[in-house]
Amino acid sequence: MATSEVQLEVVRTRGELRRALAAAPRPIGLVPTMGWLHEGHRSLIQRARSENATTVVTIFVNPRQFNSPEDLARYPRSEGRDLAICAEEAVDLVFAPPVDEVYPPGFDTTVSIGAVGQPLEGAARPGHFEGVATVVAILFALVGADRAYFGQKDAQQVMVVRRMAIDLALPTDVIACPTVREADGLALSSRNVHLSAAEREAAPILHRALLAARSRWAAGERSAKTLRQVMSDELALEPLAKVEYTSVADGQTLRELARVDGAALLSLAVRFGSTRLIDNEPLP
């Protein structure tokens, strides 16, 4: 299927995917997406292209990782635009399956991750990480990729997926790539499209709150409680921001810390109207 000068192959079924990959040069790099591609995805694709002989992008809005039907229904979709971006980036193969190719009739399997999937997004969005771990296990098995690329913006997702891939002996290395941001600091997210003009203007407060806490940490502050308070205080300056959580957690386990002595993750979830945004900053 030609969508530009570059020949982009788009497949829809497990069988087509297997056939298309049978003779693909290795290593294979995979960029799993839910579509509505933005510059963050583009950076993942470019990294995959630079490190692999074949680059595969999957476009699948995974119903199992949405914890509300409304959120699933309003998730933005535009396959034509996504395929044009993939063609521009010289992706070799796009897998854009219907739901029943990922979850065949009678599908009844769940992959769940323990401790690292429980706090933060796991607590806020029941079932979310089971949905993520299950679909990524399937995609990793189907593609048999050597490497898969995820955005650091979803830091806990990266940890859940990496744990799953190691534990289930899947052959895919999970690679976290830096969060891509707008000029004003807002992390790119497909959900940003839902922000009103006023909310969009307010949304960089997430990054400012993280940077404020990072500055205090860099100045020597080690109390996690204080660092959480720094984020909360910053967020309180923005009336449109409804804080869901601010967290200072262990960088390996995501358990909330009392003191920051080693690697840690600053993270937060904030609602603007009906749109929920997350962001994070790893320490150091």
Cite the active site residues.
41
Decide: is 95 part of the binding site for its own copies (CB under 8 A).
no
* C-beta atoms surrounding 151 within 10 Å: 23
**Sequence-distant (≥ 6) Cβ neighbours of residue 151 within 8 angstroms:** 40, 41, 44, 158, 176, 177, 179, 180
For residue 179, which of 146, 206, 197 has the smallest C-alpha distance?
206
* C-beta atoms surrounding 180 within 10 Å: 18
Segment lying near its own copies (by CB under 8 A), choices 4-12, 33-41, 114-122, 198-206: 114-122
Torsion angle of alpha carbons 47, 134, 16, 146, nearest 10°? Answer: 40
Decide: is 261 part of the binding site for its own copies (CB under 8 A).
no
Decide: is 107 part of the binding site for its own copies (CB under 8 A).
yes
Give the total of residues touching its own copies (CB under 8 A).
Answer: 27
CB of residue 215 vs its own copies: minimum separation in angstroms? 32
Shorter beta-carbon distance to its own copies: residue 12 or 225: 12
Structure tokens at 114: 């323990």
How far apart, in whole angstroms, are the C-alpha atoms of residue 49 and residue 55? 6
Q: Which of residues 9-48 bind its own copies (CB under 8 A)?
A: 14
Segment lying near its own copies (by CB under 8 A), choices 44-52, 106-114, 231-239, 273-281: 106-114
Decide: is 227 part of the binding site for its own copies (CB under 8 A).
no
Shorter beta-carbon distance to its own copies: residue 75 or 95: 95
Per CB under 8 A, the list member of 66, 95, 103, 217 interacting with its own copies is 103
Q: Which of residues 137-156 bind its own copies (CB under 8 A)?
A: 137-138, 141-142
Shorter beta-carbon distance to its own copies: residue 159 or 241: 159
Shorter beta-carbon distance to its own copies: residue 110 or 274: 110
CB of residue 17 vs its own copies: minimum separation in angstroms? 9
Decide: is 116 part of the binding site for its own copies (CB under 8 A).
yes
How far apart, in whole angstroms, are the C-alpha atoms of residue 216 and residue 240? 25
Strands of the 264-272 sheet, one edge to the other: 242-250, 264-272, 275-283
CB of residue 253 vs its own copies: minimum separation in angstroms? 9
Task: Give, as one character, the DSSP assignment of residue 188.
Answer: P
Shorter beta-carbon distance to its own copies: residue 116 or 195: 116
How many CA atoms within 13 Å lie on the side-chain side of 174? 25
Segment lying near its own copies (by CB under 8 A), choices 19-27, 71-79, 132-140, 176-184: 132-140
Residue 113 CB burial class (10 angstroms; 0-12, 13-18, ≥19): buried
Shorter beta-carbon distance to its own copies: residue 84 or 141: 141
Residue 11 CB burial class (10 angstroms; 0-12, 13-18, ≥19): buried
**Whether the Cβ atoms of residue 246 and residue 264 lie closer than 8 Å to each other:** no
Per CB under 8 A, the list member of 87, 113, 202, 266 interacting with its own copies is 113
Instruction: State the residues that interact with its own copies by CB under 8 A.
Output: 14, 103-104, 106-116, 133, 137-138, 141-142, 163-164, 166-171
